[in-house]
Amino acid sequence: NAGSLGSSCDLAYVIYTSGTTGKPKGVLQTHRNVDRLIKASERIYDFDEDDCWLLQHEYVFDFSVWEIWGSLLRGCKLVIPSADSAKDVRLLVELIHENQVSVLNQTPSLFYVFADYVLDFELQNAVTSLRYVVFG
Residues 1-60 pLDDT 10s: 666 778 999 999 999 887 778 888 899 999 999 999 999 999 999 999 999 999 999 888
Report how far residue 59's alpha carbon sits from residue 65's, in angstroms, rounded to the nearest whole number. Answer: 7
Among residues of the chain, what percentage have pLDDT more than 70?
98
Map out the domains of the chain with their CATH numbers.
1-44 (no CATH), 46-135 (3.40.50.980)
Report how far residue 79's alpha carbon sits from residue 81's, in angstroms, rounded to the nearest whole number. Answer: 6
58: CB partners within 8 A, 6+ apart: 64
pLDDT at 2: 65
